[in-house]
Amino acid sequence: MDAKVFDALFFWFPAFLLSTTVHEAAHAWAALRGGDRTAYEGGQVSLSPLPHIRREPFGMVVVPVLTGLMNGWTMGWASAPYDPAWADRHPKRAAWMAAAGPGGNLALALLAFAAIKAGLLAGVFDAPERLGMTRLVVDAAGSDVSVAAFAAKGLSVLLTLNVLLAAFNLLPVPPLDGLAVTGLFLPDGLSRTLRGFAHSPLSMLGVLVAWQVFPHVARPLFFAVADLLHPGMYVRG
């Protein structure tokens, strides 16, 4: 099996399933806490990927597998339902609901970061000669086929993916979470207006803008994470 395909199927796809499941479950849980039972009744307040896959099988399975086979990394999407009338009545609660998804990704990133740091301190992991999204750390013994090497790659992917997912979703353009999150800081009326853009034709334009802007955000973020893991070891190129 090609190495990129192997990485996609055994590292990127499982990390994507976990990360999107946590993201959507966090949205659903925050909505439930705020008084909207829509996602809860749909089964989305769950860390099992199955209810989320049933809702978005194309975005959570078909597209991630295809992009993995073609590119060696996965992309896709998922969603959790909510009651728009509830969001209109409670703009601040709706904003917290939006923030919960990226917050779930940041929580996963922090867990992966802590595990990698622990591995570095214990001498199980070491800094790689060449950084990559799947190589934030490597097996300190130099093996590519050990349990430590598998864990190093899995944690590298999990950390990278969740930092990037959180950052991408927080871009303040429709239909991404970041637009609704601005409602935490804006008057309720303006928050309602902006949320309406997420379901308008402008949402497609927002996705295109996000794809153009995000590479300029992703690279500095990746090196910032690397600097935290390995202070002063790498020069940004």
pTM: 0.92
Six token digits for residue 161: 């993916």
Dihedral (CA of 228, 113, 133, 230) sign: positive
pLDDT of residue 236: 61
Q: Three-state SS across the chain?
A: CCHHHHHHHHHHHHHHHHHHHHHHHHHHHHHHHCCCCHHHHCCCCCCCHHHHHHHCHHHHHHHHHHHHHHHCCCCCCCCCCCCHHHHHHCHHHHHHHHHHHHHHHHHHHHHHHHHHHHHHHCCCEECCCCCECCECCEECCCCCCCHHHHHHHHHHHHHHHHHHHHHHHCCCCCCCHHHHHHHHCCCHHHHHHHHHHCCCCHHHHHHHHHHHHHHHHHHHHHHHHHHHHCCCCCCCC
pLDDT of residue 200: 67
pLDDT of residue 209: 75
How far CA 24 is from CA of 110, 189, 227, in Å, comes to 18, 26, 30
Q: Which long-range contacts does 60-66 make (Cβ < 8 Å, 24+ apart)?
A: 60/16, 60/17, 60/20, 64/12, 64/13, 64/16, 64/17, 65/9, 65/13
pLDDT of residue 208: 80
Low-confidence residues of the chain: pLDDT under 70: 1, 200-203, 206, 234-237
CA proximity to 68, closest of 133, 24, 11, 27:
11
pLDDT single digits (tens) 153-165:
999 999 999 999 9
Q: How much is the CA Rg of the chain, to the nearest whole Å? A: 19
User: CA-to-CA distance for 106 and 219, rounded, in angstroms?
Assistant: 17
